[in-house]
Amino acid sequence: VQPDHIVTVVDRDWGSGSGWNSIGFTTVHVMPPIVMAIPASTTDQDHEDNHPETTITTSQQEEEEETPQPRRRRRHLVGAGIRSSSSSSDTSHKGGRLGLPNETLHALNTIADANNNNNNSASEALDCLSQHGFYPVYDTGVERLMLLLNHHDKGHSSNKKIKEDNDDHDNKSVQTLWQSSVPTYASSYYSGNSGIAALLRYAEDDCCQGNKPTK
């Protein structure tokens, strides 16, 4: 069975999808930055002695005493498989992705609805993270691309105008196919926690305005 199209996702932290564009893929959507949290300080519990493959050492330390450096593990705010941690210093590797402590989540969820005044809500959410020992970090989003396989072979056309027309037709066809796909894909991140929702919308709004999300 021959596929009609191929879809791939690019992590923009490592670069754009321009390389995929050069081999025929069309960018169909770019997700906004996603917000995560990092503990503001490290403690003895941040040492992952039971998992030496994740510790960070320098060559000098390895030669002298191999003393691992404390490491801050990022906390996920949205997505599947997130488990709440017991505290800001909890770095255990029990199944799932590490999330915020329950106390922090409850505090974030007391923040007013982000749809009413997103700037104020986001500021309150950032203050809340800070009060609980965290600061926000952002990725650069992911890019979704699609390649149609059941159209003409553009490489066999030597006429530049025909190739440009074919490219334009394919791009429109890809966008139409993507928009009508079932199931559909979310165009932005969302959360039932009002404080996290405010942080997500804040990051998305700043991204649309060409700004780097900051407090």
CB atoms within 10 A of CB 67: 11
Q: Which long-range contacts (CB under 8 A, 24 or more apart) does 85-90 make?
A: 88/39, 88/40, 88/132, 88/133, 88/134, 89/39, 89/42, 89/43, 89/45, 89/46, 90/45
CB atoms within 10 A of CB 184: 9
pLDDT at position 146: 92
pLDDT at position 68: 53
pLDDT at position 69: 53
pTM of the model: 0.68
User: What sign does the CA torsion over 36, 40, 46, 47 have?
Assistant: positive
Per-block average pLDDT, block size 10, for the chain (215 residues)? 85 90 92 92 47 45 53 85 69 72 95 68 94 93 88 48 50 82 84 94 76 51
Distances (CA, A) of 5 to 20, 34, 108, 145, 177: 14, 28, 42, 10, 10
Q: For the CA atoms of 164, 169, 170, 176, what is the dihedral angle to 10 degrees?
A: 150
Rounded to an integer, what distance in angstroms lies between the CA atom of residue 106 and that of residue 192?
Answer: 12
pLDDT at position 63: 52
Bridge-based pairing state of the strands 97-101 and 82-85 = parallel
Write phi, then psi, for 177 (nearest 5 degrees): -65, -40
Rounded to an integer, what distance in angstroms lies between the CA atom of residue 165 and that of residue 203?
Answer: 37
| Contact (Cβ atoms closer than 8 angstroms) between residue 213 and residue 136 | yes
